[in-house]
Amino acid sequence: MLFASHSALGTALPEGRSHARTLNAITVAIGLMSTGTALAQTAPSAGSVLGTVEVRDDRLNATTEFTGSYTTGASTLNKTAQPLKETPQSVTVITRQLLDDQNVRTLEDSLRSAPGMLVQDSSSFERTYFSRGFQVDSVQYDGVPTVRTSGFAISPDLAAYDRVEILRGPAALFTGAGSPGGTINLVRKRPLKFRQSSAQATVGSFDTYRGDLDLSLPLNADGSVRTRLVAAHEDKNFFYDRASTKRSMLYGIVEADLSANTTLGLGVNYEKNDMVPMYGGLPRYTTGADIGLPRSSNFNAAWAKTDVENTTVFADINHRFNNDWRLKASVSYMKEDNADQSGSNFYAVNPATGNGQQISAFRQSLVGEQKAVDASLAGSFEAFGRKHDVLVGGNYMQRDYDLASQLMAVPNNGAFNVFGFNPADFSVFPTTPAPNRAATNTLNRNEQLGLYGSLRFALTDGVKLTTGGRMSQTENYVLNKVNGNYNTQPYKENSQFTPFLALSYDLNPQWTTYVSYAETFRSQSNQFTTAGTPLDPATGKTYEAGIKGAHYGGKLNSAIALFRTIEDGRSLQVQAAPCPASPTAGACFANDAKVRSQGLDTELTGEVLPGWQISGGYTFNQTRYLRDTAANANQPLSSFTPRHMFKLWSTYTLPGALNAWTVGGGVNVQSNAYKTAGAIRIEQGGYAVWAARAAYRINRNLTAAVTVNNLFDKTYYQTLGNTNGGNWYGTPRSVMATLQAAF
C-alpha cells in the first residue's frame, strides 16, 4: 500500500517508440483477452497532436497527460507516488489519454469501462458506484477524502482532471469509515511551466454539443508562478423523451514555487448543471415481466427540473526537505446548492389494463457543505544496512447536508396508463401540499477525524513488509429543523483502529508477488437496538494475494489478484417499526448479519507493441449472505453485480505512410444479473456492448475523430430495479465527432 520511489524529470513524449518487444508481450495480452470476447481498437494520442512538450515522463511519476499512454508509473492513492507494481492492492489508473480516446466526460462514464466497477442509475444525474459487491462511498480529490452521499452525487466533469485512480478493496487507512468496496481519487491537472493550450469541439447524437478549452500559462519568465484554466460547456438531450441538460464547468488554479523545494497551489472548481431529468426509471408488470417499453420512454411529469451548482475551493502546499523527506498539506471546501422540482413515476403496472403507475410531486432544496484537511509527512531512513520508508499523517472531514422537502397533492393521485401517457396532463406543478404530509427539513452532519501511519521495512533486497494503521473518531447526527429535535441523537464512535499489513516479494525486476490484509469499519449509528442505543459499526476484513508486473520499462503493467472480504456485525432487523426503543419510531436492529465477497481481479494496461495501447481487465466476483434472514440465507449479497465482467479498450496507430490514422474500439461484457422481491425475479441476461473509433491527425496541431458507442445497438437494462420502477435502459447506438486543436 504506501510509499513512492523517487522520480526524475524527462523531456520527451513517447512518440518515437523503438523499445524491443518479445513473445512475452503477446503472451500477456492474449492471456487477458482470452477471458472475454475478441479485441477491437481505438484512437489517437493527445501527445501526438501536441508536439514535443516537457513533461515528467519518468515511469515512477504519476502524471499522465501528454504521455500518450494507457498506463502510468505510479498512483497517488497512498499519499505519495507509489509504483503500481509495489502497491499490494488492486489499483486501476484511468489516464488522460484513455479518457480522451474513449471520449469520456464524466466520472460515471469512466467507471463503466473500468475493471471491476459497476455503475447503477437512480436518475438522469445520480449514480451509485459498486466494487466487489459493496458500494464505493468515498471519493477523494487530490488525496483529500470526502463522503459521497445523495447530497454530493452529481458526477464531476472530468475536463479538469489528469487521471482517475481507483482502489478496489479496503481504503480505511487513509479515508476512515467506509465500505470495503474501495475509493476513487480524482487528480486535478496542474499548471505547466510553459505555455500550452488546447481546444476541442464535440457534436453528436441526441443533439449533443460541447466545447472545451484548456490553457496553461507561466506568469513570470522562469515559470515559478503559473496558472491553468479549464472551461467546458455541454448542451445535450438524453436518449429518452423530454430530458436534457445544460452543463458548464470552470476550473482555475495558480501555483507558485515559494522556494526551490516549496510549492503552493490555490484553486477553484465551479460546475453548474441545469437539467430536465428523468427520475425513477421504468416500471415492470406486477408479475415482474418486462413491459417491453421503447427505450425513449419517460413517464415523468413535464414540470420536472433540477438545477445544481457545485463550488470547490482548495489549497495545498508541498515541501521537500531533501531527497528523502517531504511534507504535504491540503485543505478544501465544497458546497452544493440543489433546487429540485421532481415529478417521478412509481408503482407496478397491471398487465391486463396498463394502469397502476402514479406521478408524485416533490419540491425540495438541498444545501451541502464539506470541509476537509489532510496532511502527511513521508520519508525514508537507513537501518540495518537497508533503506526503509515511513509515512505519518492525519485528516479531518465535516459534512453537513441540509434537506428541505414538501410532497404536493397531484390530482387523481397522478394516476395514468403507461400506454396512453400524455405529459401535457402533468405540465403545471401543483401548489397544494399533500394531505397529512407536512414539510420536512433535516440537517445531517458527519464528522470524522483520523491519524494514520505506515512503515515499510526492507527485510531483504527483494522482501518488504508493510505495517500500518489508522485511529479514527466519527460523530453523526440528524437534526429535525422543523421541531428542533434530533431524529438521530449525536453519537460518537471513538478509537476505531483499522490495521493494514502486507508482505511483498520481488521475483525479478519485472514481477512482484504480494499478500495483504486490511480492515474496515462502517458506521450504522442511524439504526438502533432494542435497548435504544445506536448500532455498533459493521467491520470488514479483506485478504488479498496477487502478482504484478511492470514490463518494457514500465510501458506495460499487469496484475492478477485473488481476494476475499468478510463483513460482520451488519444490521439485521429484529423488531419491525414502530419499535418502542427506537427514538425515530422505526425498526430495531442487531449486529447479527454477516456477508462474504470473493473473487479474482486481472488487468493489463499500457503499450503491448509499438503503437498498440491496451486497457483491459476481467473480474470474477461471488457474494454471499453468510448470516441474515431466512430469505437471504446463502443468497448473493449483490445479485445485481455480475459474476463475470470483462472490459477492454484498445488502440492501434497504423504504421508507415498511414501513421496519421489511429483505429480502435472496445467491448464491455458481463454475465447475467438480477434482483428479487419475494417470488418475483427481475433479470438481465449476459450481454456485450461494443464501441469503435477512428481518428485522423490532420497535422501536428489538429486531430479529428469519430466514436461510435453501442456499435450494434444492443437493447439491455444497465440498471435493474423492481416492479415499481428503477429499471434503466443502456444508451442506444450513438455517434460523437470531435475536432481537437493544440497550440
Local structure of 257: helix, strand or coil: strand
The whole-number pLDDT of residue 37 equals 37
340 vs 601: which has the higher pLDDT: 601
CB atoms within 10 A of CB 35: 18
State yes or no: pLDDT of 309 exceeds 60. yes
State yes or no: pLDDT of 43 exceeds 60. no
At 364-419, the pLDDT tens digits run: 999 999 999 999 999 999 999 999 999 999 999 999 989 999 999 999 999 999 99
370 vs 490: which has the higher pLDDT: 370
The whole-number pLDDT of residue 486 equals 74
State yes or no: pLDDT of 24 exceeds 70. no
Q: According to the per-residue pLDDT averaged within each range, which of 2-6, 371-375, 432-436 is highest?
A: 371-375
The whole-number pLDDT of residue 153 equals 58
Q: Could you identify the residue written with the cell 479483506?
A: 542
* Closest listed residue to residue 134, CA positions, set 167, 93, 175: 167
At 66-120, the pLDDT tens digits run: 999 999 989 999 999 999 999 999 999 999 999 999 999 999 999 999 999 999 9
**pLDDT mean across residues, the chain:** 90
At 439-462, the pLDDT tens digits run: 889 999 999 999 999 999 999 999
pLDDT band at 35 (very low <50, low <70, confident <90, very high): very low
* Closest listed residue to residue 616, CA positions, set 69, 114, 164: 114
State yes or no: pLDDT of 505 exceeds 80. yes
At 218-237, the pLDDT tens digits run: 999 999 999 999 999 999 99
Dihedrals phi, psi of 228, to nearest 5 degrees: -145, 140
Three cell numbers written together for 701: 496541431
CB atoms within 10 A of CB 567: 24
Please state the pTM of the whole predicted model.
Answer: 0.91
State yes or no: pLDDT of 49 exceeds 60. no
State yes or no: pLDDT of 306 exceeds 80. yes
All domains of the chain in start order, with CATH: 23-742 (2.40.170.20)
The whole-number pLDDT of residue 7 equals 33
The whole-number pLDDT of residue 278 equals 94
The whole-number pLDDT of residue 21 equals 43
* Closest listed residue to residue 168, CA positions, set 595, 513, 617: 617
The whole-number pLDDT of residue 149 equals 59
Mean pLDDT on 47-61: 44
* Closest listed residue to residue 636, CA positions, set 671, 668, 601, 669: 671
* Closest listed residue to residue 424, CA positions, set 278, 567, 570, 301: 301
Q: Is the dihedral of CA 540, 541, 545, 550 positive or negative?
A: positive
Specify the DSSP class assigned to residue 285: B
Three cell numbers written together for 603: 488487468
Which residue type, as a one-letter code, is found at position 213?
A: L
Among 207-216, 638-647, 671-680, 683-692, which stretch is predicted with the lowest mean pLDDT?
671-680
Q: Could you identify the residue written with the cell 452532519?
A: 445
The whole-number pLDDT of residue 78 equals 93
Mean pLDDT on 427-447: 89
Mean pLDDT on 698-709: 98
State yes or no: pLDDT of 437 exceeds 80. yes
pLDDT band at 485 (very low <50, low <70, confident <90, very high): confident
Three cell numbers written together for 668: 464491455
